Structure 1
Amino acid sequence: MVHDEDDEELVNARWQALGVRPFDQEVYLEALRHPQMGVAGWAVGLCAPVTRVRRAADRLLELGLLHRTARQRSRLAPVDPQLAVRAVVRRRQEEVDRLVEAAGSLSEQLADTYEHGRLRARPERILEVVEGADETSAQIGELLADADAEVCVIDAPPYVSPNEHGRAVDDGLRARGIRSRVLYDAQGLDHAGKFPRAMAAVAAGEQVRVVASAPLKLLLVDGRVALLPLTGSESGQRHRSVVVHGSTLTDALQELFEVVWRQAAPLRGRGQLPDGRLAREEGLTAAEQELVELLGSGLTDEVIARHLGVSDRTLRRRVRELQDRLGSTGRFQAGVRAAQRGWL
């Protein structure tokens, strides 16, 4: 059985949770018992000074537990508790939400200041060397798991593992609302499974581009931490990577990514022209449009032929037919005329 003192403590705790002081509680309860008496009458009922009761009433008015009467604005009366308490709870929740938002922003600022201080004290913290292929793969997984806003990838050989970096579009980032942009090196798409994965990412709505020759391979998370190789070896303990933490180095790597991204060709899905028109509106067959897209992405003939499931000879024939249709004598001229028609 709960004692009366315990009951009183519990009630007081509930009032305090609403931001109501102990004496203010007494004033509000007196107001509920005698709503027409006003501040002076409540002071008499409580045997308390009128000035003290008025200060409490002003606080209750601010909380929304009291209101000014319509006929006499200087006169206070209690608000229906069922309405007033819910309103107080809503306001308190809004205050908590604002506090949480402010605290989150403040903690990020303080964390940045703290990290910069650590880097000044120990500059070697900027760089972290990762030894071995297994450790590098594990580090990639950790970086992707910690992503908050965006993952940028330059996918280029050599590869530590078959799924390296390509996991950026496979590990549920989209489900977490995280944007990903992947740049594929054209030669890298020759590796088994790379091109189908890239096309699957495009079909899923990811942003994918192809560049003729990537300057390096890179994983960049939220513009604040990057991973890139230190060695060219693809296998075993000989492989070394470096993790670069927030600094001017990560800023430079982000800028490098943006430069290459602007120069790269978008990899698009089947049948869709850049301005949203369908290929058939231009009289293109699905096969012709697919070939235009693949050629425009800068892919090698080997990758295109493998993707289409045709021989190199068949591919060359289809390219010549496309050139004839465009009235061009070479691939470059064909590309220009395809772009002029809005096919690229």
Structure 2
Amino acid sequence: MYETGEIDAATSRIYRLRVMHATESLERIATRAGVTPQEAAAAESRLAALGLLQPAPSGGWAAVSPETAADTLLAAAQREVLERQSAIAATRARLHALTGEYLEARSLRSDKGSIEIIEGIDSIRSVIDDLARHCSSSVDALIPGGGLDEAAISSATRLDRETLARGVRMRTLLQHSARKHPPTARYAAQISAAGARIRSTGVLPSRILIADNESAVLPVDPEDHAAGVVLVRDPAVLSFLRRLFEHHWDRGLEFTAEEQENGPEPTQLERDVLLLLAAGKKNDVIAHQLGISPRSVSRIVAHLMDRLGATSRFQAGVRAAMNGWIS
């Protein structure tokens, strides 16, 4: 099931080249590596057997990080009898020996100012997995929709816990409707307990993932996630995406256990703001009467209008009264 020979220099070169040039022909890869097409094909077959290359839907190969390949290749073996433990450890060590090659090649794959289109579900998963495994400071995510797929939750929970264990700050913003989806609510509770921050808001523009404030992933088509993603490293675009995230994050409500059960009911302070809002008071007057800053009032009003789906302060007051939030 597993190869026992060493990964030779030619195979290592082929792997490195496939990380950098996923869509190039076998002949071009062979020329770059200084080997024959037959030798290149044999090396690719060996890398595929080790899980380091996977067939891409559009043809060719999708390179996989050594850690991910090791996890996939060895998952079943780790449940087998003890006598296979030495073979498993040896295989993992050989795969991890390529990490340096992978990271160096990965750094050369695209320059820091690039915007890259990634197609194919395997390639998309590989890119997201790679960002999560190698981020060092922060992961911020906007996730629209009423709830997460249970299979996605299962795989994300393990990776999220590993990321948080490295001391990475993780912030995830869901939609309010996700609170009514039990698997998503349990997922939010689990990773919150592990150190993540989870909030929800009314409307989100698109699914966005930002890693270390240096790379971002967003869908080519927000209605069809399988259509491909855009991998962004361009500083100007990243700056806009970070501001977009912070704008929606500041409007979000903490995803607490009480809110999961009872829904995003207003706090007493929010009810007080609503009463004054319905009375036609301006933000400065509300701030003065409640003893808080005008900026805090602006943020609370924005939250409330978003949750009520209101386009004006008057409409917010009417809808709050209809919801029984004020009397």
TM superposition score normalised by structure 1: 0.41
TM superposition score normalised by structure 2: 0.43
